[in-house]
Chain A
Amino acid sequence: MSLFWEDYNWDDVQPVFEDNSSGKLAAIAYSDEYKKAMGYLRAVMGAGEHSERALALTKQIIADNAAHYSVWDYRLDIVKNIGNDVFDYRKVGLVKSHAPTIGEDGEWLNELTLDTPKNYQIWNYRQHLEIKDCPEYYNGEVVAVKFILEDDPKNFHAWSHLKWTVSSSLKNCSAPLLLEPLLEYTNQLIQEDVFNNSAWSFRYFLYQTWPVLKSAETLDKEILFVEEKIAMDPMNESPWPYLKAVCNEFSPNALSTLRSVAIKFPDNARALEAVAETSPAEEQAAYCQKLCELENFRANYWRYKFKC
């Protein structure tokens, strides 16, 4: 089923066109093709029609304007009603599943996600296709996200969707996603680009979800991992708050653990700030002075923080 919308018979439909005459304050120049498709969309949407031809039509509108939120809502309505009759539901996501679910054109959806990864609607739509207690759905979403991140490793929507997928699988699936492969994925991304803040943020999310750092041995390994990454560029903004959070959350001696790493990177504002934070109050003024010299445009912040 991959017919173009105009390949269907529309003789029984009276398209509804907008009065977009010139001289209006917000008149818009649309292509004739888009106007025509919109005319038919208004008609079938108004009539609440759930049909194959309406599905094909929504594809056209989405191709022209993926941010048109009403058309996504309409497509979801149709898919929930007749999706299983039209599409092989096992193709939702990138994997096959055998759980009863909502039929959608998975290949089309994945291609569109790749083409317009910054569109809010598309990710929300994918979440509405959730198949509870179906491991393949969640694995499929992880695969889809990895495809997007291959092109754009900091895509905010894809990362948010990945977090949603992890949380939902833990909540709704008896065979949820596992920590190890996800952690390994962040190893890989941080290895490729140590400045990838999204990957750092996701790694922290994983440790909040699976509190394995409560084990002293795992914690030591993690601190070492961060230290190695800081050494690659001590001015990198991402690992420092990560390190502080890991220490605060999981280390029984948070301040001394943080300090033990920070003192290894002298003459650097981020490390110096951490050293200052873990020093007695009477020593902080001297550090503050040094920080103001290193990063003068943030002097107001340093003075506020260290009360000097």
Chain B
Amino acid sequence: MTAHLRMSGLYWGLTALHMLGAPDALDREAVIEFVLSCLDSNGGFAAHPKHDPHVLYTLSAVQILFLCDALDRIDKDKTASFVLSLRREGGEFVGDKYGEVDTRFIYTAIQCLCILGKLDLINDTVDKTVKFLADCQNYDGGFGLTPGAESHAAQIFTVVAPLDILGRLDSIDGDAASHWLSERQLPEGGLNGRPEKLPDVCYSWWVLSPLAMLGHLNWIDGLKLRGFILSAQDDETGGLADRKGDEPDVFHTIFGLAGLSLLGYENLEPIDPTFCLPLALTKKLDWPGKSKRKPFST
């Protein structure tokens, strides 16, 4: 029953292949054709043909088309207006017509508009959006899905990345967030998502990428983390699992590779911590925070 995330699965796989230096491993035309078959008449994309469009899959679709240099195959204005239709008065975004408001959808919408070159469409509410994101910072320095919700590493990514795109990282306490993130490293090297939880390879991305954006990637021990990530690689298939001995899957593979890429290991193509796309490609994009970026390397 994976149809509901098929589009994201394709984005994860394709981005992983880019990092591994094999961007052409999938048939480009077949990839584009699948993405276009999920396009709804309202400009949004579904996870699978004939499903309802959703902002998560719209971002994945736009990312895939960007990776394939095929954004000219869609009506960008229409897709941007689908994303805008999910905006609420307070500058927050929902995922679909009944959806909940949370930071995941703000991140998704803002990155989507950024890749489409249509960020200026939210100029009138951007201050409110920034305030909502900043209000999600908790007493411990971390961020939750909504104001007051418990801190979680993945939610820090979904707050820091849109603020980085908007050039508004100065609206949060970045050092406090980075400290909370650095506490995610356990003595054996792996990272967890919340205090007292088990380490998981996917947090290599959710923890490292905001640390990179905030300029504190060196607050974790990269070599120890590398050891943890590599121990989760499956000997037979080569994929990565959540931790040693478990079944590998594309989700943990992309985010484990992306973590290694940020740390500069294994000769992987450099990944952009804000977009989770190859740095070589995001250079072509333009966004308000681009000139304010801090150096990522450890």
Residues of A within 8 A of B (CB): 18, 24-26, 28, 30, 34, 42, 64-65, 67-70, 72-73, 76, 120, 123-124, 127-128, 154, 156, 159-160, 163-164, 167, 195-198, 201-202, 204-205, 208, 237-238, 241-242, 244-245, 249, 297-298, 300-301, 304-305
Contact = CB atoms under 8 A, between A and B. Distances in A.
A28 B2 CA distance: 8
B10 A26 contact: yes
B144 interface: yes
A32 to B, nearest CB: 14
A301 B150 contact: no
A77 to B, nearest CB: 9
Given A198-B150, A241-B139, 17 more contacts: A24-B34, A25-B34, A26-B6, A28-B2, A28-B3, A28-B6, A68-B4, A69-B52, A70-B52, A70-B96, A73-B52, A201-B150, A201-B151, A205-B148, A298-B182, A301-B216, A305-B175
A159 B141 contact: no
Contacts of B194: 154, 156, 197-198
Contact of A197 (B54, B98, B150): B150
A interface secondary structure, majority: helix
B39 to A, nearest CB: 14
Interface in B189-233: 194-197, 216, 218-221, 224
A127 B180 CA distance: 30
A297 B221 contact: yes
Given A25-B30, A26-B48, A160 B146 contact: yes
Nearest to A72: B98
B43 to A, nearest CB: 17
A258 B138 CA distance: 19
A154 B197 contact: yes
A197 B196 contact: yes
B78 interface: no
A238 B183 CA distance: 11
Nearest to A125: B98
A73 B98 contact: yes
B1 interface: yes
A64 B4 CA distance: 12
B49 A18 contact: yes
B100 interface: yes
B179 A204 contact: no
Contacts of A123: 100
A197 B195 contact: yes
B152 A156 contact: yes
Contacts, number: 124
Nearest to A244: B139
6 contacts: A18-B49, A124-B100, A156-B149, A201-B151, A297-B187, A298-B182
Contacts of B6: 26, 28
B40 to A, nearest CB: 11
A300 B218 contact: yes
A65 B3 CA distance: 10
Interface in B146-177: 146, 148-152, 175
B127 interface: no
A250 to B, nearest CB: 11
Contact of B195 (A24, A124, A237): A237
B15 interface: no
A245 B139 contact: yes
A124, A238, A242: most-surrounded residue (chain B CB, <10 A): A124
Contacts of A300: 216, 218-219
B50 A42 contact: yes
A160 to B, nearest CB: 5
Contact of A124 (B98, B141, B187): B98
B1 A64 contact: yes
B120 interface: no
B98 to A, nearest CB: 5
